[in-house]
Amino acid sequence: MPISEPFVPAALSIPAIPPRLPSRVLVTGGAGFIGSALVWALNGLGIERIVVTDRLGRDEKWRNLVPLRFEDYLEADDLMAPLERGALGNFDLVLHLGACSATTELDASYLAKNNFEVTKHLAHWALGHDVRFVYASSAATYGDGAQGMDDRDNSTAGLSRLRPLNAYGYSKHLFDQYAAAMGVLPNVVGLKYFNVYGPNEAHKADMRSLVHKAHGQIQETGRVTLFKSHRPDFADGEQRRDFLYVKDAVAMTLHLAMTPTAGGLYNIGSGEAHTWLQLTGALFSAIGMPSAVDFIDMPESIRAKYQYHTQADIAKLRAAGYTAPVTPLGDAVRDYVQGYLANDRRLGD
């Protein structure tokens, strides 16, 4: 049966996780996917003294903000000047989610300015004002995973071994390396998000999760299209990813943000790899239909950059005191489909 009230993971429903709640928070990218989910989660902890920045543009990202409670909104380009002159008041936490997250973006100069330079500027401000700084890195920094996906080696030598496969991943890797070289990485928290999916991603166009895209395909045709495998060691649909529900992602994020002893880079994932067929199977089950999958050739342009297996090692996250269980794939997909996609709902609706 459809879920009338979408569930909230235990980590968000029990405010005992954080030793001290922040009094005032700046959330960049706060109208976006994970950013708006963080504002929703902060609201659930009773925190409404929040300033949100983003670039609303021409899509419907603004709809993510409608159910949320916050003090003020600024366009991203209007943030730094009033922040630096003190016009925005005091903060004790910055959650920096603002970035271009398109893995297909080819303008490396734009990514360097938008993802690296802005993060650097904001981090210097936060550290200079003794404000906790938490920023979004990415699992894309690991590239094809040949060097592993271990978040424990935060040294400049360890990070220099990684080889991102796209400009987006490199723009994130640049700041990880910069923070390590400057010696400030232990004083901030960088979050290497894996394949996050869930409510509030509708505006992301081609960067939406497969769950969102496939749900639309099923409504139109009753079938789902997946890429064939172009490696002999992986059957079609058996490529594996670490899929993480956004409600778990924000619970992990806030735990680290509110744990003063946490510092450096952390993997934000489920710690388990599932195949695309397992994911689509969970989706068809949530809709109440038998699976029907077609396979098509992967475009030549992405074959060399395609990740066939990602799996987060979350031992460091667990060592930082995050003990909540990760929502099982089937339960998470069912909550997303029946609680949100079926009714075009956002978090907080």
Structure confidence by residue, pLDDT tens digits, 89-109: 999 999 999 987 777 778 888
- Residue 14: predicted pLDDT: 36
Pairwise CA distance, residues 190 & 271, whole Å: 17
Pairwise CA distance, residues 54 & 311, whole Å: 30
- Residue 275 in 3-state DSSP? strand
Going by the DSSP 8-state scheme, the letter that residue 249 receives in this structure is H
- Residue 5: predicted pLDDT: 42
Q: What is the bridge-based pairing of β-strands 264-268 and 195-197?
A: unpaired
The residue assigned the tokens 């989660």 is 41
Burial class (CB in 10 A: 0-12, 13-18, 19+), 207: middle
Catalytic residue among 120, 204, 228, 305: 204
Question: Which pLDDT tens digit goes with each residue over 13-57?
Answer: 433 444 578 999 999 999 999 999 999 999 999 999 999 999 999
Can you spell out the DSSP letters for 116-132?
IIHHHHHHHHHHHTT-E
User: In the numeric block, which tokens belong to residue 19?
Assistant: 């030793």
Res 12 pLDDT > 90: no
178 in catalytic set: no
Question: Which pLDDT tens digit goes with each residue over 135-165?
Answer: 999 999 998 888 889 999 999 999 999 999 8
What domains can be seen in the chain, in order of their start residue? Answer: 10-198+243-272+311-326 (3.40.50.720)
- Other residues' Cβ atoms within 10 Å of the Cβ of residue 88: 18
120 in catalytic set: no
Q: Any bridge partners for residue 293, and if so which?
A: 224
Catalytic residue among 135, 168, 266, 336: 168
Res 1 pLDDT > 50: no
Mean confidence (pLDDT) of the chain: 91
Average pLDDT of the residues in 242-259? 95
Average pLDDT of the residues in 249-253? 95
User: In the numeric block, which tokens belong to residue 114?
Assistant: 């938008």
Pairwise CA distance, residues 156 & 160, whole Å: 6
Going by the DSSP 8-state scheme, the letter that residue 112 receives in this structure is I
- Residue 19: predicted pLDDT: 56
Average pLDDT of the residues in 226-231? 94
